Chain A
Amino acid sequence: MTILSLKDVSKSYGALRVTDGVSFDVPQGQALGIIGPNGAGKSTLFNLITGNVPADAGTITLMGRDVTRLTPMQRCLMGVGRSFQIPQPFGNLTVFENLLVAATHGTGASEREVSRRCAVILERTELIDRANQPAGSLSLLGRKRLELARAMATDPKLLLLDEIAGGLTEGECQALVATIRAIHAEGVTIIWIEHVLHALNAVVERLLVLDFGQVIGMGDPATVMASKEVREIYLGIEV
């Protein structure tokens, strides 16, 4: 079954086409990695999928339903969870309250119903000892973990991760990758934008390469990375 389908999706800012006729399908349960140079339109693609940015043209289908005109809130309720590239915590709320907002509003449940689930997510993302601290006081690693934890709290079917491993040390990165693998193993579909390729390769089954807003390669990670086009454009290597 296809969980997400994009068909000829385009978005321009003035004369700049940041997303240019992008089409691809994501089968349920897959982990898809998205790579591409800076400015290729990766984050915009995420914003189009979540609805934070409206599409100029094309259709976005989620679980068989056309969501192109739906708001981020509606898509979240349908099961789209996301992390932001630059962490966006609710700084004055505690870490636990950050999850409570997401769990109650992202699923429509009551606080009582979700508080235990939030605690379990905090355990999994190793934030449990920080539960009662203001989210604004977290370190970078803590904020990245909170992005993941808060997205998980909305009980997503499709999880979008935007450079969640960026800026972390090797050890921190490995711990985060292990958590993401475990989440994926439970059947959550993942789309992951990442520059840290070894982190990405440890999880994803398929790779999509974006350049100047266009899909220039897609398929098995090893094959995609080996292709001449990708090596030239993405890695800047003359082949």
Chain B
Amino acid sequence: MAGDYRVHARTRAATVAGIVAVVLVIVGYALPAFAGRGLIQDLFFILTMLVLAQFWNLLAGYGGLVSVGQQAFVGLGAYGLFGAAILWGWDPVAALILSGVAALLVAIPTAFFAFRLAGAYFAIGTWVVAEVVRLSVAQWKAVGGGTGTSLPRDAVDGMRGLETVKTLFGASNAAARDILAYWLALTLAIATIGGIYALLRSKRGLALAAVRDNIEAARAVGVDAVRMKWIVFLTAAFGTGIAGGLIYLQKGRVSPDAAFAVTDWTAYVIFIVVIGGIGTIEGPIIGVLVFFALQSLFADYGTWYLMALGMIGIIVMLFAPRGLWGLFSDKTGVQLFPIRRRLTGGKIREE
């Protein structure tokens, strides 16, 4: 009889990774007690880039939606937060939710048009939308128009949780703001990775993989491919918007050219995902560390640095199309975030 079948996805590496992750998270939250301000700022940068990379990977790696316009949602997130703080006097931390909402509101009409385009046309279409949004926001005089603006002094100093951080670590206003932003970034990164992993482990994740492999067959077995695209696009926009809001909450100053920069918020992010390994959760984690190392070492070389990044990207695409993590995982079979459902027991004779 077939009563004793079991389905599981756990691997030993994943169990170990889970324990390591818990330790890392605890250390991560406790870190401001020991670490200097420079390290906290670096980690903030790594964590926010990781969030952007995870969402781009969700779009392109799992949803097949290669967007070059994610900077639209970073910028909208930033301006959503600044607008709410400046015009309505919102607390900047609470306004982060508006960052996500602002991105979402623009993502809905964007998707409506962009989903009519496929492949390279979709990429260009999203880029065009991002430019349109940048030019429109530059006309918004109340938040500084083309030159941009800063967060109001009282909004920054009166930020929720800032006093607690100051008394906890005896830190200055500026240092306390960095710590608070770092904690928010850490929380956002955990929520992002956890959320994406949960999505991939669900039956929606199976549907995403099926659509990626063969959309005709997926439709024939009842998968709503269009709905999957909407879910992925809107989720990525919302998350990218919150990350954008947080990045500029920490910077304290925003301008359209910076907040909607295609290099900073999309080109680097694509680089991170591609060299790390597209279509895996581990890939962007590896990628962001490599990117940070390269940037710390070589960013002073300006144009040469950017050309070198491009070269590395091309070399990885040619010789390790599944990225550094893909290379490692193929050789060792290690998966830290396993999603494969294994059927065991019953009449299965494994060779």
**A→B interface (CB under 8 Å):** 50, 52, 71-73, 76-77, 81-82, 84, 88-94, 96-98, 100-102, 104-108, 110-111, 115-116, 118-120, 122-123, 128-129, 131-132, 150-151, 153-154
Q: Which residue of B lies closest to A147 (CB)?
A: B217
Interface contact A119-B222, CB-CB below 8 Å? no
Q: How far is the CB of A145 from chain B (nearest CB, A)?
A: 15
Q: Which residue of A lies closest to B228 (CB)?
A: A105
How many residue pairs link A and B with beta carbons under 8 A? The number is 122
**B→A interface (CB under 8 Å):** 2-3, 5, 7, 203, 206-207, 209-210, 212-214, 216-225, 340-343, 346-351
Known interface pairs A76-B221, A102-B221, A115-B343; A90-B209 also in contact (CB < 8 Å): yes
Q: Which has the most chain B C-beta neighbours within 10 Å: A101, A108, A132, A151?
A: A101
Q: Which residue of A lies closest to B227 (CB)?
A: A73
- Across the interface, B217 reaches (CB within 8 A) one of A89, A104, A120, namely A89
Q: With a CB–CB cut-off of 8 A, which chain B residues contact A128?
A: 346-348
Closest 9 CB pairs of A and B: A106-B222, A102-B221, A88-B217, A76-B222, A90-B213, A105-B222, A104-B203, A72-B219, A119-B5
Q: Which residue of B lies closest to A100 (CB)?
A: B206
Interface contact B341-A94, CB-CB below 8 Å? yes
Majority DSSP secondary structure for residues of A touching B? helix
Q: How far is the CA of A106 from the CA of B347 in the complex (A)?
A: 25
Interface contact A111-B7, CB-CB below 8 Å? yes
Q: With a CB–CB cut-off of 8 A, which chain B residues contact A105?
A: 203, 206-207, 221-224
Q: With a CB–CB cut-off of 8 A, which chain A residues contact B210?
A: 90, 93, 98, 101
Q: How far is the CA of A90 from the CA of B216 in the complex (A)?
A: 10
Q: How far is the CB of B77 from chain A (nearest CB, A)?
A: 33
List 6 A-B pairs, Cβ < 8 Å. A50-B220, A88-B216, A89-B214, A96-B342, A101-B221, A154-B221
Q: How far is the CA of A88 from the CA of B211 in the complex (A)?
A: 12
Known interface pairs A100-B341, A131-B348; A52-B219 also in contact (CB < 8 Å): yes
Known interface pairs A120-B2, A129-B349; A94-B221 also in contact (CB < 8 Å): no
Q: With a CB–CB cut-off of 8 A, which chain A residues contact B216?
A: 52, 84, 88
Interface contact A76-B220, CB-CB below 8 Å? yes
Q: Which residue of B lies closest to A112 (CB)?
A: B7
Q: Which residue of B lies closest to A134 (CB)?
A: B340
Known interface pairs A100-B206, A123-B2; A84-B221 also in contact (CB < 8 Å): no
Q: How far is the CA of A199 from the CA of B53 in the complex (A)?
A: 53
Interface contact B347-A102, CB-CB below 8 Å? no
Q: How far is the CA of A73 from the CA of B228 in the complex (A)?
A: 13
Q: With a CB–CB cut-off of 8 A, which chain B residues contact A118?
A: 343
- Across the interface, B343 reaches (CB within 8 A) one of A71, A101, A119, A150, namely A119
Q: How far is the CA of A101 from the CA of B340 in the complex (A)?
A: 13
Q: With a CB–CB cut-off of 8 A, which chain A residues contact B343?
A: 96, 115, 118-119, 122, 131-132
Interface contact A93-B206, CB-CB below 8 Å? yes
- Across the interface, B341 reaches (CB within 8 A) one of A71, A91, A96, A129, namely A96
Q: Which residue of B lies closest to A102 (CB)?
A: B221
Known interface pairs A104-B203, A111-B7; A90-B218 also in contact (CB < 8 Å): yes
Interface contact B347-A73, CB-CB below 8 Å? no
Interface contact B206-A97, CB-CB below 8 Å? yes
Interface contact A73-B223, CB-CB below 8 Å? yes
Q: How far is the CA of A101 from the CA of B217 in the complex (A)?
A: 11
Supplied contacts A104-B206, A111-B341, 16 more A-B pairs, CB within 8 Å: A52-B219, A73-B224, A84-B217, A88-B217, A90-B218, A91-B214, A96-B341, A101-B203, A102-B222, A106-B221, A119-B5, A120-B2, A128-B346, A128-B347, A128-B348, A150-B217
Known interface pairs A71-B219, A115-B7, A116-B2; A88-B214 also in contact (CB < 8 Å): yes
Q: With a CB–CB cut-off of 8 A, which chain B residues contact A97?
A: 206, 209, 340-341
Q: How far is the CA of A153 from the CA of B216 in the complex (A)?
A: 17
Q: How far is the CB of B64 from chain A (nearest CB, A)?
A: 13
Known interface pairs A52-B216, A97-B341, A150-B221; A92-B209 also in contact (CB < 8 Å): yes
Q: How far is the CA of A110 from the CA of B7 in the complex (A)?
A: 13
Q: With a CB–CB cut-off of 8 A, which chain B residues contact A104?
A: 203, 206
Q: Which has the most chain A C-beta neighbours within 10 Å: B3, B214, B224?
A: B214
Q: How far is the CB of B60 from chain A (nearest CB, A)?
A: 16
Q: With a CB–CB cut-off of 8 A, which chain A residues contact B220?
A: 50, 52, 72, 76, 82, 84
Q: With a CB–CB cut-off of 8 A, which chain A residues contact B212?
A: 92
Known interface pairs A52-B220, A150-B221; A92-B213 also in contact (CB < 8 Å): yes
Interface contact B341-A77, CB-CB below 8 Å? no
Q: How far is the CA of A89 from the CA of B210 in the complex (A)?
A: 9
Q: Which residue of B lies closest to A119 (CB)?
A: B5
Q: How far is the CA of A151 from the CA of B220 in the complex (A)?
A: 9
Known interface pairs A88-B217, A119-B346; A77-B222 also in contact (CB < 8 Å): yes
Q: With a CB–CB cut-off of 8 A, which chain A residues contact B349?
A: 129
Interface contact A153-B209, CB-CB below 8 Å? no
Q: With a CB–CB cut-off of 8 A, which chain A residues contact B207?
A: 101, 105
Q: With a CB–CB cut-off of 8 A, which chain B residues contact A120?
A: 2
Interface contact B7-A101, CB-CB below 8 Å? no
Q: Which residue of B lies closest to A91 (CB)?
A: B213
Q: With a CB–CB cut-off of 8 A, which chain A residues contact B219?
A: 52, 71-73, 76
Known interface pairs A97-B206, A131-B348; A90-B341 also in contact (CB < 8 Å): no
Q: How far is the CB of B345 from chain A (nearest CB, A)?
A: 9
Q: Which residue of A lies closest to B345 (CB)?
A: A119
